[in-house]
C-alpha cells in the first residue's frame, strides 16, 4: 500500500487585504523553503489570489482558493469585508469612490457592506454577540459602557452619501439579497433590481469567478 503524502494547508477566511496577504506570503516563504517531505498550500481571500500567486510562483508552496465551487459560473456568494472595500479605494463618499453598483450581487455581500460604510454604520452595530452574555462583559458597569459606545456609534449613522445599487441575472438571488439587506438595516440605502451585468453602466465593483492556479 502506498504511503499518502501529507498536505499542510492554511487559509485565513475574511482577513487580510491584497497587500497584507502578499506581505504575509513573502514572510512565510523563508520559513518553509526547505520543506520537502510534505506539500504546503495557502488559500487567501479571493481578492488577494492574483497578488499571492505571483509570490508563490516557482516555489514549493501551492496556492488554493477558499470556498471554491464546483460550477464554472453562477450567482454564488463569497466573503468580502469592509476593509477590502476600503483597500480598493472606496470610502462611500462623492470624493472617495462615488456611486457603487454591484452587477453580480449574489446574496448582496458587497452592496450591503458598502451601504454600511456609506451610512456610517460601525461594524457589528446591528448585531448581538454571544460574548456579551459572559463575564466580565455581563457586569452592570460593562453593560452600561457597551450601551454608551453603541449609542455613540448609532448617533453617527446617517443617510448614504452616494447611490448604491445591486443587480443580478437571477431574480431569486435579488430577493435573497434584499432580505439580507433588511436584516443588516440598510435595505433603504440599496436599489435592488434584476438584469444582465453587460447592460449596466459603470462604475462597477463586483465579485468575479474564482480562478485556480
Predicted confidence (pLDDT) per residue in 77-95, tens digit: 555 556 666 666 677 787 7
120 backbone φψ class: left, alpha, beta (φ>0; ψ -120 to 50): left
pLDDT beyond 60 at 119: yes
On the question of pLDDT at 175 being above 90, the answer is: yes
Could you tell me which residues come within 8 angstroms of residue 155 by beta carbon, excluding any fewer than 6 positions away? none
Mean pLDDT of the chain: 79
pLDDT average, residue stretch 9-38 = 87
Cα 90 to Cα 14, 30, 114, 156: the distances in Å are: 18, 34, 8, 19
Least confident of 54-58, 149-153, 176-180: 54-58
User: Alpha-carbon torsion 107, 113, 118, 120, what sign?
Assistant: positive
> Using CA atoms, how far apart are residues 59 and 73, in angstroms rounded to an integer?
30
**Span 99-103, average pLDDT:** 79
- Average pLDDT of the segment spanning 134-155: 88
Under a CB-based contact definition with an 8 Å cutoff, are residues 160 and 115 in contact?
yes
Report, as an integer, the average pLDDT of 68-82.
Answer: 53
Whether 180 shows a pLDDT value over 80: the answer reads yes
**Paired strand residues for 42:** 10, 63
With CA atoms as reference, report the closest residue to 77 among 46, 121, 100: 46
119: cell is 451610512
Nearest to 19 by CA among 86, 67, 101: 86
User: pLDDT tens, 27-56?
Assistant: 999 999 888 888 888 888 877 888 888 888
Contact call for residues 185 and 160 (beta carbons, < 8 A): no
Amino acid at each position: 500500500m502506498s504511503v499518502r503524502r501529507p498536505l499542510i494547508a492554511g487559509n485565513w477566511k475574511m482577513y487580510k487585504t491584497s497587500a497584507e496577504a502578499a506581505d504575509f506570503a513573502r514572510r512565510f516563504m523563508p520559513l518553509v523553503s526547505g520543506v520537502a517531505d510534505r506539500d504546503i498550500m495557502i488559500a487567501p481571500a479571493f481578492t488577494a489570489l492574483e497578488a499571492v500567486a505571483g509570490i508563490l510562483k516557482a516555489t514549493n508552496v501551492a496556492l488554493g482558493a477558499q470556498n471554491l465551487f464546483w460550477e464554472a459560473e453562477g450567482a454564488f456568494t463569497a466573503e468580502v469585508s469592509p476593509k477590502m472595500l476600503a483597500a480598493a479605494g472606496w470610502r462611500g463618499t462623492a470624493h472617495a469612490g462615488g456611486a457603487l453598483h454591484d452587477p453580480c450581487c449574489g446574496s448582496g455581500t458587497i452592496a450591503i457592506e458598502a451601504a454600511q460604510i456609506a451610512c456610517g454604520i460601525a461594524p457589528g452595530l446591528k448585531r448581538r454577540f454571544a460574548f456579551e452574555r459572559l463575564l466580565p462583559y455581563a457586569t452592570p458597569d460593562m453593560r452600561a459602557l457597551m450601551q454608551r459606545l453603541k449609542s455613540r456609534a448609532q448617533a453617527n449613522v446617517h443617510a448614504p452619501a452616494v447611490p448604491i445599487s445591486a443587480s443580478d441575472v437571477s431574480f431569486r438571488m435579488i430577493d435573497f439579497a434584499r432580505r439580507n439587506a433588511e436584516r443588516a438595516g440598510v435595505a433603504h440605502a440599496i436599489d435592488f433590481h434584476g438584469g444582465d451585468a453587460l447592460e449596466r453602466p459603470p462604475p462597477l465593483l463586483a465579485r468575479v469567478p474564482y480562478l485556480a492556479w
